[in-house]
Amino acid sequence: MTQTLRALLPLTLAGLLASCGGMTPTPPAAQAPLSALNEDICPSCGRPSISVRPGWVWQAPAAGLVASSGEGLSPEAAPEWAASRAVAAEARSRGRTLWEVDLQGAPLPKEAPVICVDDSHEERPVLVPALTLALSPFSPGTARNVWTGARLAFSKPVAAEAVQTEAQGQEQCAAEFGPGWRMLRSDHAADALPLGTQALTLWALQTQP
């Protein structure tokens, strides 16, 4: 009996293999790439998160804006970029270490944090894009990717009425983060800029105090 089973075993295995001959394994090329499967499981894995936060920045008037008569510019005649006031900006996180602050007309919120900076005098990181200048003989030149050399933090949200003066913004930052912290100004730059240049985007470290 045992010898009979041993004789039939090879034939049984051959029959099973033959019956599976119509089932062709899926070639590796037809399967979903492993990276796609991983993205389905964890879409954010390995990708730096980008968040956008509004905040108040003090719009400083461009330097050297004095009329030829020596009387200066009246508030009514001063263009928008010459006004000294709190403006809404958008700060975008860039990876885990940097913030980019866009000063170009963010939507005006009812409340927003005061964007505060310190005077840490940090060196310009290699991840910050190169400084770019656009000069004009008829209006202030503009600069993008201006490095502030500072760390950045957000205060608790406040209404625009709470930052009608720069001093109010300074008090908010100092009260929440301590001495040396102040409201970010549009002309806060560690880069050497031509006189009267208007910064459009500022960069700072993301490190929170």
Tell me what pLDDT residue 48 has: 52
Tokens describing residue 197? 């240049």
Tell me what pLDDT residue 57 has: 96
User: How much is the CA Rg of the chain, to the nearest whole Å?
Assistant: 31
The residues, any chain, with a CB within 8 Å of residue 102's CB and separated by 6 or more, are 89, 90, 91, 92, 200, 201
Inform me whether the pLDDT recorded for 35 exceeds 60.
no
Contact yes or no for 59/85 (Cβ under 8 A): yes
Whole-prediction pTM: 0.69
The predicted-structure confidence for 48-101, as pLDDT tens digits, reads as follows: 567 899 999 999 886 644 333 334 444 444 455 556 889 999 999 988 899 999
| pLDDT band (50, 70, 90) for residue 190 | very high
Tell me what pLDDT residue 81 has: 55
CA distance 17 to 114: 73
Residue type, 97: T
DSSP 75: T
The predicted-structure confidence for 126-184, as pLDDT tens digits, reads as follows: 999 999 999 877 777 899 999 999 999 999 999 999 999 999 999 999 999 999 999 99
Tell me what pLDDT residue 24 has: 46
| pLDDT band (50, 70, 90) for residue 12 | very low
Tell me what pLDDT residue 208 has: 59
